[in-house]
Amino acid sequence: MTLFELVNAGKPKNVPLLATEAMGYFTVTVHTTNTTIAYMLGYIISHHSVHARLKEELNFLADNTRGKLSYDDLRKSEYLTAVIKESLRMRPVLPGFIPRIAPPSGITYDGISIPAGTMVTTSESSVFRDEQIFTQAYKFKPERWMDPDSKDLDEWFVAFSRGPRNCPGRQ
């Protein structure tokens, strides 16, 4: 039973459950973000051309805003966005295998019938390492996200998962 279901049922607050939920939220918000930033900084300092281009773009933005860069200004940086996406592609902090249980009615997916109660899962890492989708999949190439011919790649950007339970913190 989730915390919300307990509260809705008028039951007293369950402290251990509350603590577990809080720890869960702490992990999904803090751990995901700081791990991603750590990986991203590692990629930037080990790829000199990426470092140089990013510095140039951020300096340009800082000059244009007289040093008062806002979140919206940063979002306009196409290259910074590409570096973040490429870091998440190379090192998705939640690489997959988040389980889902087929509903009581069962489910049919791609012509395959999955009986009620079956656990199914997928892997974001496998998508990100698929050479048919991402050429030179093991190379850190932020430019791939800016190539006009690669617009379809966004369909495969699954670092925040997909579907009704996808990450609400993705913005």
Query: Between 62 and 120, whose beta carbon lies closer to ligand HEM?
Result: 120
Contact 44, 50 (CB under 8 A): yes
Q: CA–CA separation, 103 vs 116, rounded Å?
A: 5
Q: CA–CA separation, 24 vs 8, rounded Å?
A: 20
Query: Between 58 and 167, whose beta carbon lies closer to ligand HEM?
Result: 167
> From the CB of 63, what's the least distance to ligand HEM, in Å?
29
Contact 93, 31 (CB under 8 A): yes
Of all residues in the shown chain, the one whose CB is closest to ligand HEM is 169
119 has which bridge partners?
101
Query: Between 33 and 46, whose beta carbon lies closer to ligand HEM?
Result: 33
Q: CA–CA separation, 163 vs 138, rounded Å?
A: 26
Q: CA–CA separation, 75 vs 21, rounded Å?
A: 31
Query: Between 60 and 97, whose beta carbon lies closer to ligand HEM?
Result: 97
Contact 159, 92 (CB under 8 A): yes
- Numbered residues of the known binding site for heme: 167
> From the CB of 23, what's the least distance to ligand HEM, in Å?
13
Which residue ranges make up the site for ligand HEM (CB under 6 A)?
Answer: 28-29, 32-33, 36, 88, 93-94, 98, 159-161, 165-169
Query: Between 82 and 159, whose beta carbon lies closer to ligand HEM?
Result: 159
> From the CB of 67, what's the least distance to ligand HEM, in Å?
26
- Numbered residues of the known binding site: 167
Q: What is the DSSP letter of 96?
A: S
> From the CB of 127, what's the least distance to ligand HEM, in Å?
12
Contact 56, 81 (CB under 8 A): no
> From the CB of 130, what's the least distance to ligand HEM, in Å?
17
